Chain A
């Protein structure tokens, strides 16, 4: 039964990583940049939701909505102010800017909300945990909601990128921005939309993560951000199903490593698995191998 409990917890943690990784992978696919500030958008989402729930005492649904709207706007602002002027710059310049944005968000949060951890109330209300097999297997509502939300988001994103006009524009831009522009696609709007979607997803991930692990500090987002980035690379960066697969696998590996090998080595094992996968399959699990041409 321990095995099953760990598996479910792993999938749940992995689902959170997956939602964050989706934001990373979409932004990377289209703008070819590592958005290091993505993890901190999660943290901002957590704080916005915390404020609406605690200070204003509103309904959790409104809290989630506020977090999503807030983070979406934040994502668009960051993109417009910090990243848009750097479209033609080398990737390192963009990377350092992203790091700067990350510092900025963390320190703003530190000034506004302070360094003391905030205890986040779970947004998942209703009945208590589900007991199965005479109470041997306990599944919390947060776990179920997280897994379901992740599955829904993945399906929605796959449909969005394959069926809608904007989704197709995104794929075109990630394939070849120059050609996409010639076909009449507004590349700037498309990139902004991608950032908006990614940031909105980060807000959802933040709220779900805070519901399961309720301690909110200004640096909350950085480690999940790094792990999710790892997950995106693990699954093959740029691929939506890859990000989900990578995220879920990473979550499962982390929970199993904690349970069977030792909490202290969990991070090392997660990263070691990533390295092994990349060495065997350098483009990630579901990534496309692009040969270098002269």
Chain B
């Protein structure tokens, strides 16, 4: 009640500012980004290299958001997130090939593939999550890493084809699929082959918005508060009657499902996808987006993932030095704020900013 009265008392300008710095602002950033890019495409002022990055940007943003649900909201360090993306990518690719004739509309087929990717991501999230939730901390991290590597290893040996009789699976080679006149969809280390590219930037943006919607609303819900309570103090949460395992698992499975959807979108953007594309390096890359954007901050994840996906391309003019620069930037961003001299300087700059002056004045007045 008290909150509402204050909200009414605040001038419209401030309320608008509050909304923009809140969740609404995050949605607006995504929409604004989408509109600007679409305008640039219409105006042909965009390089083809950058245009090729658009769907991956959306994929990594979604993946970072979903990982942030595990790392930031649930407080567990997961190093196998790319594994769920790869499950989604491969199940999506298989379904896309099967439905090629049955569902001719590419947008509908993409939707079905993304949903399937999400379902399989959730199934694997549950398979991995149930045993993993017995552990915590660094042990949980290493086990998720192990699961990610196992998924990659198994997919490296998976052969899938389909013909009139239905789907065929094998773990040895394509000939053992026993098809006479079928299509090979997944060909071991070569990965999912012969994918029709149906991912679009529009679909990517919609997926990002959907992921944001799910994550932000989960955070605001009763379950989300339970998840955060478990993160902040497991024992206290348990003492007030929160089922710790249930809520940790919920965050993990929802994140795996969202990662699976992102993976399906990723696969549909290329003609083939190899399992080693989703190794632990990719998991770590997504974790870097989450940490650089700010653990627990969804807006941070969106911005960090978008910028860092584009950054290596933008640095291309530096040729061989670009990954080196990337590494140095990564270390600097992490270390510099922790050096006292730099930290005090940053504090001074922050205080000098006009919008902070006002808040400090207000705080002073309230006392």
Q: For chain A residues 84-139, which have a beta carbon within 8 Å of chain B? A: 85-86, 88-93, 95-97, 99-101, 103-104, 106-108, 110-111
Which residues of A have CB within 8 Å of B150? 267-268, 271-272, 275
Q: Assess the B142–A96 pair: CB atoms within 8 A.
A: no
* B16 vs chain A, min Cβ distance (A): 34
Q: Assess the B153–A264 pair: CB atoms within 8 A.
A: yes
Name the 10 nearest CB pairs between A and B, nearest first. A100-B330, A271-B146, A103-B327, A268-B153, A104-B327, A100-B331, A97-B334, A107-B324, A85-B338, A107-B323
Which residues of A have CB within 8 Å of B49? none
Give the interface of A toward B (CB within 8 A): 28, 34, 36, 81-82, 85-86, 88-93, 95-97, 99-101, 103-104, 106-108, 110-111, 226, 229-230, 233, 237, 264-265, 267-268, 271-272, 274-275, 278-279, 282-283, 292, 294
Which residues of B have CB within 8 Å of A283? 139
Q: Assess the B157–A237 pair: CB atoms within 8 A.
A: no
Segment touching A, from B53-61, B114-122, B160-168, B283-291:
B283-291
Q: List 13 A-B contacts (CB under 8 A).
A: A89-B338, A95-B291, A96-B288, A99-B330, A100-B334, A104-B328, A104-B331, A111-B324, A226-B145, A265-B153, A271-B147, A274-B142, A292-B235
Bound-state Cα–Cα, A294 to B233, Å: 10
Q: Of B141, B146, B338, which is in contact with the most chain A CB atoms at under 10 Å from its CB?
A: B146
Contact of B146 among A92, A99, A100, A274 (CB under 8 A): A274
Q: Mark B210-241, 1 if CB is under 8 A from A, else 0.
A: 00000000000000000000000011000000
Which chain B residue lies CB-closest to A34? B138
Q: Of B153, B235, B292, which is in contact with the most chain A CB atoms at under 10 Å from its CB?
A: B153
Q: Assess the B323–A103 pair: CB atoms within 8 A.
A: yes
Contact of A101 among B77, B234, B320, B331 (CB under 8 A): B331
Contact of B139 among A233, A264, A272 (CB under 8 A): A233
Contact of B284 among A99, A108, A279, A292 (CB under 8 A): A99
Which residues of B have CB within 8 Å of A100? 327-328, 330-331, 334
Contact of B143 among A92, A264, A278 (CB under 8 A): A278
Given contacts A103-B323, A111-B321, A292-B235, contact A275 B153 (CB under 8 A): no
* B63 vs chain A, min Cβ distance (A): 16
Bound-state Cα–Cα, A85 to B326, Å: 20
Which chain B residue lies CB-closest to A111? B320
* B274 vs chain A, min Cβ distance (A): 14
Q: Assess the A97–B335 pair: CB atoms within 8 A.
A: yes
Which residues of B have CB within 8 Å of A267? 149-150, 153
Besides A97-B334, A267-B149, A274-B146, 19 other A-B contacts (C-beta < 8 A): A28-B138, A34-B138, A81-B335, A85-B338, A86-B335, A86-B338, A92-B295, A97-B335, A100-B328, A101-B327, A103-B327, A104-B324, A104-B328, A233-B139, A237-B138, A264-B156, A267-B153, A268-B149, A274-B143
Interface of chain B, main secondary structure: helix
Asked whether B7 is an interface residue with its Cβ less than 8 Å from the other chain, the reply is no
Q: Assess the B291–A96 pair: CB atoms within 8 A.
A: yes
Given contacts A85-B338, A99-B288, contact A275 B149 (CB under 8 A): no
Bound-state Cα–Cα, A34 to B139, Å: 11
Which chain B residue lies CB-closest to A90? B295
Bound-state Cα–Cα, A108 to B326, Å: 12
Which residues of B have CB within 8 Å of A111? 320-321, 324
Q: Assess the B139–A278 pair: CB atoms within 8 A.
A: yes
Q: Of A96, A106, A226, A292, which is in contact with the most chain B CB atoms at under 10 Å from its CB?
A: A96
Which chain B residue lies CB-closest to A96? B291
Which chain A residue lies CB-closest to B330? A100
* A43 vs chain B, min Cβ distance (A): 15
Given contacts A34-B141, A93-B291, A96-B292, contact A264 B147 (CB under 8 A): no
Which chain B residue lies CB-closest to A293? B235
Which chain B residue lies CB-closest to A279? B131
Contact of A96 among B141, B235, B287 (CB under 8 A): B287
Q: Assess the A275–B131 pair: CB atoms within 8 A.
A: yes
Q: Assess the B330–A103 pair: CB atoms within 8 A.
A: yes
* B234 vs chain A, min Cβ distance (A): 8
Q: Assess the A96–B335 pair: CB atoms within 8 A.
A: no
Asked whether B280 is an interface residue with its Cβ less than 8 Å from the other chain, the reply is yes
Which residues of A have CB within 8 Å of B143? 274-275, 278
Bound-state Cα–Cα, A271 to B338, Å: 36
Q: Assess the A275–B134 pair: CB atoms within 8 A.
A: no
Q: Assess the B280–A226 pair: CB atoms within 8 A.
A: yes
Q: Assess the A92–B71 pair: CB atoms within 8 A.
A: yes
Given contacts A82-B331, A279-B131, A282-B135, contact A264 B157 (CB under 8 A): yes
Q: Of B71, B150, B234, which is in contact with the most chain A CB atoms at under 10 Å from its CB?
A: B150
Which chain B residue lies CB-closest to A294? B235
Which residues of B have CB within 8 Å of A271? 146-147, 149-150, 153
Asked whether B339 is an interface residue with its Cβ less than 8 Å from the other chain, the reply is yes
Asked whether B154 is an interface residue with its Cβ less than 8 Å from the other chain, the reply is yes
* B231 vs chain A, min Cβ distance (A): 13
Q: Mark B336-365, 1 if CB is under 8 A from A, else 0.
A: 001100000000000000000000000000
Which chain B residue lies CB-closest to A32? B138
* B21 vs chain A, min Cβ distance (A): 24
* B113 vs chain A, min Cβ distance (A): 26
Which residues of A have CB within 8 Å of B157? 264-265
Contact of B147 among A104, A230, A275, A294 (CB under 8 A): A275
Which residues of A have CB within 8 Å of B138? 28, 34, 91, 233, 237
Q: Assess the B334–A96 pair: CB atoms within 8 A.
A: yes
* B56 vs chain A, min Cβ distance (A): 19
